[in-house]
Amino acid sequence: MVGSKRTGIDILVVDDEQVHRYMLCTMFKEWGYNCIEADDGDTAVSVVERRDFDAVLMDVKMVRMSGLEAFARINELKPSLPVIIMTAYSSVDDAVDLIKHGAHDYLTKPLDFKRLKLTLMRALDHHRVEERKRETSPEPGELDTPIIGSSSEMAELLEMVSYVAPTEATVLITGESGTGKELVAETLHRNSERNAEPFVRVNCAALAENLLESELFGHEKGAFTGADRQRDGTFMQADGGTLFLDEIGETSAAMQVKLLRVLQEGELQRVGGEQTLHVDVRIIAATNRDLEHEVEKGRFREDLYYRLNVVTLEVPPLRQRQGDIELLANNFITRFTEKNRRTVDSVSREFMEHLDAYPWPGNVRELENAIERAVILMRGTHLTEKSLPLTVQKHSQAHPERAGTRPATLQEAEKELIFQTLEETGGNKSEAARRLGITRKTLQNKLQRYGE
């Protein structure tokens, strides 16, 4: 019954073929799950209305009510309940359409049981995240994190990190360059159950495709010129821990296929090798691209996108974190005075006003570089705006009305920035969203909040 105390993990299997249901339930019980059967879509909807489940595995083609209709009804009843779709190759388009509307994932028949187990584990992780969000309110301050910020935008992000970190969920971190996506990934690892194991970083944009393949998967001795010994790749180096794939949107189509295999099956082969290696890693990926747009343009695999996008964390640009600029600046001043053996006794009011007025297109990284430059070039022990980069000084001179004047609230600052950007782009919401470092959907939601 709904609301009654459950023990263990309950999986609902929906299929009009009794033999297939029996086979799946037998396997689930061997994996330690409780299995409940439904012989058609209408039965599944009725059962979901009466009791709670942790995941649903459902066929697309059924006699009385199709999986498409049943999913729509289940998603309306319990939107956080992960539904995995089973389909024949001829119905893959239907399954992908369901994923676009909120289904967790799809599997093609005949089922690959290793892939089924991995997919189910990810679905259960996703469900735990949603349940944790519903049942608890962890304090972001309890996180072990290198991130500096007290703005409402960062508090919201860190709260979401606190929900996601203890799970095994694959995470996609989005945001402009220089916003600190790697620090978010590090925070996820530090606060996970894998924190005693390696946290390995790979910048997918920094290596040519052949070098990236060897970096990720390793290579056998003699696999190519210069391969004088066998080498493990970063997947194996991160075994048991977390692998952070930065700039995932820069990978080639061929590399995306190979990454998809590891995500689906937890298996890989070294370059030049035939042995299949099993690996247990949590994947965290990051990109400054709009991957939904890249999928639409055919530049990024749709199936890989949906497997990476179990949980998305969007890191706000610095211009939307107005309250954090002074906090970050003071931290950088302390760090760089120690590093460069300088002394700062005081900071001018104009120095901070110039920082507040500048839009920081390079985000936190640009602010960090500007502060280090200012500390190195300062005269005496009083830090003034004259040691800031010329771009920052000239911006304040060109916009004197912005220097030293802050909107009354962060919401007002965000609203002002959004409308200013829309004006600059002639009302083009897609371009405005790109400049703001958010998705078009996020922009639309913010405009609705502001009554536009």
- Its pTM stands at 0.68
Is 404 domain-assigned?
Answer: no
Give the pLDDT score at 132.
64
* Domain of residue 241, residue span: 148-315
Q: Are 266 and 238 contained in the same domain?
A: yes
Contact by Cβ (8 Å): 12, 56 = yes
Quick: pLDDT tens for 375-428.
Answer: 999 988 999 999 999 888 888 665 655 544 444 455 665 677 787 777 777 778
Q: Are 167 and 301 contained in the same domain?
A: yes
Quick: pLDDT tens for 111-147.
Answer: 888 888 878 887 887 777 777 666 655 554 578 999 9
Q: Are 157 and 275 contained in the same domain?
A: yes
Query: Phi-psi category of 149—alpha, beta or left, where left has phi over 0 and alpha has psi -120 to 50?
Result: left
| CATH number of the CATH domain containing 437 | 1.10.10.60
| CATH number of the CATH domain containing 107 | 3.40.50.2300
Which pairing describes strands 267-268 and 277-278: parallel, antiparallel, or unpaired? antiparallel
Q: Which token pair is 312?
A: 């998305």
Query: How far is 306 from 303, CA to CA, in rounded Å?
Result: 5
Question: What mean pLDDT is predicted for residues 305-331?
Answer: 90
Query: How far is 370 from 289, CA to CA, in rounded Å?
Result: 25
Contact by Cβ (8 Å): 437, 317 = yes
Is 403 domain-assigned?
Answer: no
Tell me how many domains the chain contains.
4
Quick: pLDDT tens for 336-349.
Answer: 999 999 999 999 99
Q: Are 181 and 206 contained in the same domain?
A: yes
Q: Are 229 and 375 contained in the same domain?
A: no
- In terms of C-beta density within 10 A (0-12 exposed, 13-18 middle, 19 or more buried), how is residue 365 classed? middle
Quick: pLDDT tens for 287-299.
Answer: 999 998 998 899 9
Question: What mean pLDDT is predicted for residues 69-96?
Answer: 82
Is 143 domain-assigned?
Answer: no
Query: Phi-psi category of 11—alpha, beta or left, where left has phi over 0 and alpha has psi -120 to 50?
Result: beta
Q: Which token pair is 223?
A: 């696999």
Last residue of a domain, one of 79, 100, 135: 135
Contact by Cβ (8 Å): 435, 428 = no
Q: Are 99 and 114 contained in the same domain?
A: yes
Q: What is the DSSP letter of 402?
A: T
Give the pLDDT score at 408.
45
Is 154 domain-assigned?
Answer: yes
Q: Are 323 and 299 contained in the same domain?
A: no
Give the pLDDT score at 6.
43
Is 112 domain-assigned?
Answer: yes
Give the pLDDT score at 2.
32
Q: Are 29 and 164 contained in the same domain?
A: no
For residue 149, what are the CA distances in angstroms to 169, 179, 232, 390?
Answer: 25, 12, 37, 26
Cis check for the bond before 110: say yes or no (omega within 30 of 0). yes
Q: Which of 121, 118, 95, 86 is nearest to 15 (CA)?
A: 86
Q: Are 328 and 310 contained in the same domain?
A: no
Place of tokens 């799950």: 33
Question: What mean pLDDT is predicted for residues 51-76?
Answer: 91
Query: How far is 351 from 124, CA to CA, in rounded Å?
Result: 50
Q: Which of 247, 130, 246, 128 is nearest to 193 (CA)?
A: 128
Quick: pLDDT tens for 424-452.
Answer: 777 788 777 777 767 777 777 778 777 65
For 25-46, give one letter per residue: b (16+ CB within 10 A) or e: bebbeeeebbbbbbbbbbbbbe
Contact by Cβ (8 Å): 191, 165 = yes
Quick: pLDDT tens for 185-232.
Answer: 999 999 998 999 999 999 999 999 889 999 999 999 988 888 889 999
Q: Which token pair is 390?
A: 């010329």
Q: Are 118 and 230 contained in the same domain?
A: no
Give the pLDDT score at 5.
39
Last residue of a domain, one of 135, 158, 190: 135
Of the CA atoms within 13 Å of residue 56, those in its CB half-sphere come to 33
Q: Which of 25, 20, 27 is nearest to 36 (CA)?
A: 25
Q: Are 207 and 103 contained in the same domain?
A: no
DSSP letters of 98-140? HHHTT--EEEESSP-HHHHHHHHHHHHHHHHHHHHHHH----G
Rounded to 5°, the CA angle 87-89-92 comes to 65
User: Directed axis angle between helix 429-436 and helix 440-449, to 10°?
Assistant: 100
Is 25 domain-assigned?
Answer: yes
Is 141 domain-assigned?
Answer: no
Q: Are 280 and 158 contained in the same domain?
A: yes
| CATH number of the CATH domain containing 357 | 1.10.8.60
Last residue of a domain, one of 398, 425, 441: 398
Is 2 domain-assigned?
Answer: no
